[in-house]
Amino acid sequence: MNLYRVRAVVLNSREMRDAHRVLTLYSRENGKIRAVAHGVNKPSSRKRGAVQPFSFSDFLLRRGRELDTVNQCEGLEVFPALWGDLERMGYAAHATELVDGLTADGEPNGTVFDLLLHTLRRLEKAVDAELVVRGLELRLVSVLGYRPRLDGCVNCGSGETGSGTVFSAGDGGLVCKSCSTAAGRVPCSGETVAVMKLMLDWDPAKLDRLRVSHRSRRELQVVMREYLQWLTEVRPRSLHFLESVRRGSS
Ligand SMILES: [Zn+2]
C-alpha cells in the first residue's frame, strides 16, 4: 500500500453521496492534494472536524490513480471561532479559495503554506479580519512573483505619485496622475499605498496595530480585487509557469 502522512489545511470539502467528501488539501511538503474521505458525513464519524474547511489536520493518505484516499485523520487546529462568526468565516473562505485558485496540484510552496496557516490562526483571534486577509492577498501575489510596484509610476518612473494616483492591475503597480488616462484603473491614495507597503514589509503580526481609514479600506479592497482578477483570469498559465521555473532554479 502506498501510504503517506501529511499535515495539511483543508481548502475545500465537498459533500458527495454515501457520506463521502472530496477534499482539497494544501500541505507544506506536497502542495495541493485531492483526496476522498469515506463515511465522514455520518453523525458518528470522529473524522468530521478534521475534514471540514479551514481545519489544519494530520492525514494518513493512500495514493490513488486520480484521487488519494483518507485512511486516518486527526484535527490539529479546527478554528472554532471562525465557525462562530459569519464575517470571519467569509474571510477564511476567501483565503482558502485564493490559495486554491493561485496554486496548481502537486506544486509545493512552503511560504504559501505558512502564509495560509498563519492567516487562519490570526483570523481565529483576529482583531481586524479584513486587514489580515488584505495582507494575505498582497503577500501571496508577491510570493508568486507579482509584488506590486509601489515606489513610483510604472509608466514614467516618477517617484512623485501624489494625488490622482491610480493602481493599474495590468501594469502591476501605481500610475501617476498625468499618465492615468486609461479606463479600468482604480484610485490609490497615499494612505492606501502606505498601508500596502507596511503589509508587504512588516511583520504581519504587527498589522493588528495598524489603523486604516474606511476610505482606504475600500480602495485597498478594490485594488486587490482588480489585481487578483487580472492575475487569476488573464495570467493563470504564467502564474503556474513562474512557480515551476522557480522550483527548477532553486
Ligand atoms: Zn507617470
Domain ranges for the chain: 3-80, 127-249
Predicted local confidence at residue 66, as pLDDT: 87
Q: Distance from the CA of 90 to the center of ligand 1, in angstroms?
A: 37
Residue 50 sits at φ, ψ, to 5 deg, of -70, -25
Residue 250 has pLDDT above 50, yes or no: no
- Backbone φ and ψ for 52, nearest 5 degrees, come out as -80, 155
Statement: the pTM of the whole predicted model exceeds 0.85:
yes
More confident residue, 128 or 61: 61
On the question of pLDDT at 1 being above 80, the answer is no
216 vs 95: CA distance, rounded Å = 20
pLDDT digits over 18-69, tens only?
778 999 999 999 999 999 999 887 777 778 899 999 999 999 999 998 899 9
- The answer to whether residue 247 scores a pLDDT higher than 70 is no
Residue of 88 and 1 predicted with greater confidence:
88
CA distance 9 to 103: 14
| Distance, CA of 238 to CA of 145 (rounded, Å) | 10
N- to C-terminal Cα separation, the chain: 32
Q: Scanning the structure block, which residue is given the C-alpha cell 481548502?
A: 11
Q: Name the E strands within 28-165.
A: 31-37, 56-62, 68-77
Q: Would you state the cell numbers that stand for residue 105, as one nine-digit string? A: 496540484
> If you measure from the C-alpha of residue 218 to the centroid of ligand 1, how many angstroms do you get, rounded to a whole number?
23
Banded model confidence at residue 164, pLDDT cuts 50, 70, 90: confident
For 160-193, give one letter per residue: b (16+ CB within 10 A) or e.
ebeeebbbbbebbbbbbeebbeeeebbbbbeebb
CA of 167 to the centre of ligand 1 (A): 11
- Ligand 1 center to residue 233 CA distance, Å? 26
Question: 3-80 — its CATH code?
Answer: 2.40.50.140
- Distance between Cα 225 and ligand 1 center (Å): 22
Could you report the per-residue pLDDT of 176-219, keeping only the tens digit for each?
988 887 666 799 999 999 999 999 987 766 777 889 999 999 99
How many CB atoms sit inside 10 A of residue 32's CB? 20
Round to whole Å and give the CA distance between 221 and 226. Answer: 9
Cα 83 to ligand 1 centroid, rounded to whole Å: 45
Buried/exposed code over 207-221 (b: 16+ C-beta within 10 A; e: otherwise): beeeebeeebbebbb
Ligand 1 mean position, distance from CA 180 (Å): 7
69 Cα: distance to centroid of ligand 1 (angstroms): 54
Distance (angstroms) between ligand 1 centre and the Cα of 211 equals: 29
CA 158 to the chain's CA centroid = 31
